[in-house]
Structure 1
Amino acid sequence: MTGAWWRRAVRAVAGRRAQLRWVHLVLGGALLMPYYLLTGVVFSMLLQDAVPFTSLPWQLGTFATALPLAVPTALLPLVRPLEATAARSLCGLPESAELAAGPAGSWDARARTLLWYGLHLAIGGLVSGLTLSLLPASALLVALPFTDGSYADEGWPHAFASAPTRWRPWPGCCCWA
């Protein structure tokens, strides 16, 4: 019994069920992406100093602006059954789980659909962004001592850029551990 707790912990974090739930969240990020890209392009066209694809504050602002634009998509009749099917299959819910499988029939049901769809897109967008940025960033930090380090001086947070080169890989190792 004493050795079984860590196996359950590893299975909870990296097991098949956890991986399927991660896929479900990444699906939410993928559904948000067209709205995010459209908002970023509009910001770039309307505001001269906007850099929505390279600056973290602009990325967060673009995300916060794209989310309210994407959420009304949940009012389309097919979104609710598709979300229920995706949640049932990717989150490991049993067939007996009570999920609304048909289009919303009342405004209360539509409001719940909007809320859950918005949460799916918001959390999925954050998980997707972290997945797409942390793993490559940690790989670059681990490789830093073996390069000239020029890529770490520009665009990295000040704590990484000002740290001695030999200490920069440690945050990257923590991501891979």
Structure 2
Amino acid sequence: MIKKVLMLALGLLCGLGSMTAQVRTHSLGVELGSHNVLLYELTLARHFSVVSRTGLVVGAGFSAKRDVNGKQFTFGGLIPFVDIEPRWHFSRDSSSGLYHTGGYLSLRFDGEWDRATLFGHKYAMGDDRPQYTLAFGPYFGWTFGVTDNSYLRLATGLNFFRTKVAYYSGGHYWRTTNTESAISVGLEMVYGIRF
């Protein structure tokens, strides 16, 4: 499946690069909110772009089941991450020349460095510690133009993850979507500025 996804992304990059774009072919920006990032967007065609972001994501979660401490909501700190996200913008003409407005569908590839989390959980001696997480999943989002160079963006999607967890005594194991029997739903709300 991963090979098919990579081939699709490569096809988008190669096959659509020659089509005319409605917005500027590339732009830099910052986003603040649930994801605090620096970003670069490359517009491949009128309805296709690739966004790459790096920064800090707010590690918060809600579960229908209570954890060992009886909590349903958890705060995991600010986690460094990097992602790449091919997007298909299905809305009509954008109201800005710097970014796409309206709705989009995307496939997000994400890497988080759990070991470097800021303001996160304090692990006791002997606790297993997450090292890093790799994830991918489909997302749906909507960008609302505020000014010609700023916007509000909302997105939600599914995350299929694989986390490397280190034993305190040495060695490691993997937590995945299947081993955790969990469906991870991502929610995102950011305010962005483009340059």
* TM-score tier (shorter): under 0.3
The higher-RCO structure (CA 8 Å, 6+ apart) is 1
Greater strand share, structure number: 2
**TM-score, structure 1 normalization:** 0.22
- Higher Cα Rg: structure 1 or 2? 1
Greater helix share, structure number: 1
**TM-score, structure 2 normalization:** 0.21
